[in-house]
Amino acid sequence: MSEKTIFNIAFNCDSTLVSIEGPVELARRLKVQGIDELTEQAMQGEASFTEVFRRRFELLQPSLPDVQWLGSRYLETIVPGAREVIQTLKDQGHRIYLIAPGYRTAILKLAKYLGIPSLNVCAVDIEFDSVGKYLSFDEDNILTTDEGIPMVLAEIAKLGPTIYIGDSVRDLDTRSVVDLFIGFGGVRFRQKVADEAEVYVKTPNFLPVLAHIQNRIQIIHERRMNKAALAMV
């Protein structure tokens, strides 16, 4: 009756676990114009993410050293409290995922630092030539589409109750496939997310997110225990 309920806790990356947007940082490094506007249009749900994703790569064409540099920037810009929240959830036995429609090499560096297994990282592969020059990105990766994150989460949710934390308007689309979506506005406040998310955290520290996660874990665990008890009557 007291068996613990293991949850899947999934996090977005840019403007959620870290205080930057990866493509915008690369644009500054490479002195490419227009990336910030494209990214914000996608995050606000004002443009097709598929088209924005492709257009950003056309403009940026990041080399392997560029993407490796971005991985280092991620480590420098982790939102305060994020690492502690993830460690606490891991210590409690929950499965942690990082779902990021970004550059896998950079995302994996962040995941390793946060203690998230590489098998639990969903990101986009980039192909480079023998000297590290950009060739292409994996256009078949579901995360390059508007439906990508909800589809990935729907598969993860087959393993058990699932909570997802993200910052953008696009992340609101995950509500139908997870037990709880937590909107995070500690980096960028988005009014639509604040209005429509069941839970919204706007402090620049990640620690308050933990309380909301644990509260929902407790609620669902108690529901399961009550259901099991009734089944035994």
The number of residues making up the chain comes to 233
pTM of the predicted model as reported, rounded to 2 decimal places: 0.94
Question: What does residue 9 show for φ and ψ, rounded to 5 degrees?
Answer: -115, 115
- Radius of gyration for the alpha carbons in the chain, expressed in angstroms and rounded: 18
Mean pLDDT, the chain, whole residue set: 95
Q: Which residue has the tokens 């840019």?
A: 14
pLDDT of residue 233: 64
Q: CB within 8 A of 169, min separation 6: which ones?
A: 43, 44, 45, 190, 192, 193
Predicted confidence (pLDDT) at residue 231 exceeds the cutoff of 80:
no
CA-CA distance, 87 to 104, in Å (whole number)?
22
Residue 211 has pLDDT above 90, yes or no: yes
Domain-wise residue ranges, the chain: 8-231
pLDDT number for residue 2: 54
Element (H, E) at 218: helix 207-231
Q: In the chain, pLDDT over 90 holds for what percent of residues?
A: 90
Quote the pLDDT of residue 230: 75
Confidence of residue 226 (pLDDT cuts 50, 70, 90): confident
Average pLDDT over residues 100-121: 98
Question: Do residues 161 and 8 lie in contact, with contact meaning Cβ atoms separated by under 8 Å?
Answer: yes
Give me the pLDDT at residue 115, please.
98
Model confidence band, residue 178 (pLDDT cutoffs 50, 70, 90):
very high
pLDDT band at 1, cuts 50/70/90? very low
pLDDT digits (tens, 9 = 90+) for 120-144: 999 999 999 999 999 999 999 999 9
- Rounded to an integer, the average pLDDT of 48-72 is 96
> How many angstroms separate the CA atoms of 112 and 98, rounded?
11
Residue 216, pLDDT > 60, answer yes
Instruction: Return the beta strands (E) in the chain as ranges.
Output: 8-11, 95-103, 121-124, 126-128, 134-137, 162-166, 180-184, 199-201
CB 42 within 8 A of CB 144: no
Cα–Cα distance for residue pair 90/190, rounded to 1 Å: 29
3 state DSSP class of 165: strand
Query: DSSP states of 40-54 as a string?
Result: HHHHTTSS-HHHHHH
Out of 38-52, 100-114, 150-164, least confident range: 38-52
Q: Where are the alpha helices (DSSP H) in 81-147?
A: 82-91, 104-114
Matching CATH number, 8-231, of 3.40.50.1000, 3.40.640.10, 3.40.250.10, 3.30.420.40: 3.40.50.1000
User: Measuring CA to CA, which residue among 154, 229, 163 is closest to residue 3?
Assistant: 229
